Amino acid sequence: MGGDLDPGIAHLRAGGVSIVVDARGPGLPVVRHWGAELGDADARHVGPGFGEALTVNSPDPAVPLAMLPEASTGHMGRPGLRGHRAGAHWSSAFALADVTVGPGTARFTAVDGRAEVELVTEVELTPSGLARVRHQLTNIATTPYVLDGLEVALPVPPHAEELLDFTGRWARERHPQRRPFDRGAWVRENRRGRTGHDATIGLVAGVRGFGFGGGEVWAVHVAWSGNHVTYAQRTPDGRSTLGGGELLLSGEVILAAGQTYRSPWLYAGYSAGGLDGLSAGFHQWLRARAHHPGPTRPRPVVLNTWEAVYFDHDHDRLRALADAAAEVGVERFVLDDGWFLGRRHSGAGLGDWSVDPAVWPDGLAPLIDHVEALGMEFGLWVEPEMVNPDSDLFRSHPDWVLGPAPGAMPVTVRRQQVLNLAHPAAYRYILDRLDHLLRDHHIDYLKWDHNRDLVDAGQDGRASVREQTLAVYRLLAELRARHPGVEIESCSSGGARIDLQILEHTDRVWASDCNDALERQAIQRWTGLFLPPELIGSHVGPPRSHTTSRTHDLSFRLATAIFCHFGLEWDISTATEEERRQLRRAIGLYRDLRPLLHTGSVVRVDHPDPSAWAHGVVSADRSAAVFAYAQLATAVDAVPAPWRMPGLDPHRSYRVTLVDRIERPAMAGRAEPAWFASGTIEVSGRVLGVVGLPPPVLAPEQAMLVRLDVVGEP
């Protein structure tokens, strides 16, 4: 507030975005504008000036929709607060009590004297233009208050006519689905106890036909790793909202006198220039975090042993694999599942976190020493939240398992149960085991897995998904405090726990258990809508995919994986000398490119041929870029459409060079443009962005990379 603004109008502006909040009362604050940046004079007009149109059969007077919608105002849609006090006070009627506005922040306090609850709403607008909002509710009465839901709602304008969200399954995560933004509610509920393979990483509303490079778009993301809900709603009077929050199971939150519940952050992004603009806001915010693994900690080339050896933990074989890894340039060697007590298959051992002497008679130290002598870091796989019924831990403490009632076991999934980390003794046991593991061994990295949904997850007869989620956050935070140099990956049978809150405690995510390069093109494209490349693990698998049985040329597998946090998951000790040569060259290329890949702006091309995808990364000063062109299927046209490269400086010229450290892709036709045959061309940024280059006719499931470097100044 202040300046030319009327009292009670808060205007937050940053990164080309404005949020104008009407906090004149007497009710809850209302977002009058969330979108393109306005001046304070403009915000003054948006705030109090327009009022609300009255319609037949509507409340008198009309009440705008608040960030916490209330039925008491006449709102007939989804309420922001659902709760009661012994069946009473089920409908809230808050009165605004206090407003505090600072640089990029606003805090609104309101009280419902009848229901005896206090609501605090926090709004932040980050320098990148990414907003986040959350509520906290406090019981100010002496009797308990049952909370069933507390969600944030944000308005979008009527010209947002389309919705984009994502679904998926194991090994096929984050696949897009689009639909009209019709009247009614489109509600995505996740009840899996983790973020979920099928969860939408974000819900996007936009103008009709929006794409990567054009069209206004608004998006929300619920930063929570347990049950959650995301929704879009358009009421018959034309009001449109995006919203979400934690999905609370019956009885999970009962607030005693003085107790407070805080909702997860709802992140909210806006872009006037399509989906790439959304990505820029999310990526810049994530990269600005103090703990982000940025340029000062380059993302090392990883070799993970899972698809190389599975459970066959033969010491000599693993030494040979480490030798081969170091020879091609790997920088981090990660020993996956199978190292601990009784773990010869997936049905036993989880919970018994000690090195199996039957497999490792001298412990892990000889392998760790060998790996480090080769100049590589050592990483280890763990799955601390789970327990196998066939384990010493389960046999000793079956009461440490989450279940619907004391003595009742939920169904097993993957021959696993979920260890109740909200149980103090279970929590101490896992913390102590992991702490000892990290103190007794030089381990630089934990691949932290979570391989099943939470079914009937409760303790003492009450639902406990929320408490489990909070306990996992506490466990990760405590381990990081004790071992600040250890990096942690969030893996959850692939990409089932990817959200901004788990990334407050981890250093990267595993996008999918599928290393099939064709599937990965889509998985990485859409995961990267919200996460920058350096946070997304991507590995080159063996010639025949473990999950799909497809075979792909090594060049296609390399060109796909190199755009993320690059690694290998393949027994390269069996690779041919030619394959090893290609790996050495590609790893050298990744090392050269990672300062650009992991700091630059991600761009994706709205290409007219759906069988061909193009994307790239442009440096912050637009002096350099790298682009990929991937032929996913047979081309629609005999002569492919031009390959445009957006995001460059239109006033400078670039030397476009075919990357020769990844083998040339196979051709599907005779058409080979002159520039491709020569391997280089100089073109202006304007021509590359508007007209494009003619691509060659690639065979299906082939890809090519080009580097761009400025050769002329304005």
Residue tagged 């959650």 (tokens): 228
Q: Which of 22, 198, 444, 513 is catalytic?
A: 513
DSSP string, 482-500: H-TT-EEEE-BTTBSS-ST
Of 539, 543, 476, 550, residue with least CA distance to 512: 539
Residue tagged 């979570």 (tokens): 450
Tokens of 280: 């820029």
* Rounded distance between C-alpha atoms, residue 394 and residue 417, angstroms: 9
Of 161, 30, 157, residue with least CA distance to 106: 30
* Rounded distance between C-alpha atoms, residue 585 and residue 655, angstroms: 21
Report whether the peptide linkage leading into residue 26 is cis, meaning its omega lies within 30 degrees of zero.
yes
β strands within 619-684, DSSP E: 624-631, 653-658, 680-684
Q: Which of 449, 453, 499, 507 is catalytic?
A: 449
Of 540, 126, 84, 98, residue with least CA distance to 307: 540
Q: At what angle do helices 365-373 and 315-328 cross, to 10 degrees?
A: 20
Torsions phi, psi for 147 (to 5 deg) = -105, 125
* Rounded distance between C-alpha atoms, residue 692 and residue 640, angstroms: 12
Q: How many CA atoms lie within 13 A of 42 on its CB side?
A: 12
Look up residue 672 and give its amino acid: E
Does the active-site annotation cover 449?
yes
Alpha carbon 63 to its chain centroid, in Å, reads 36
649, 652, 657, 661: CA torsion to nearest 10: -50
Does the active-site annotation cover 513?
yes
DSSP string, 168-183: EETTEEEEEEEEE--S
Torsions phi, psi for 688 (to 5 deg) = -65, -35
Catalytic residues: 449, 513
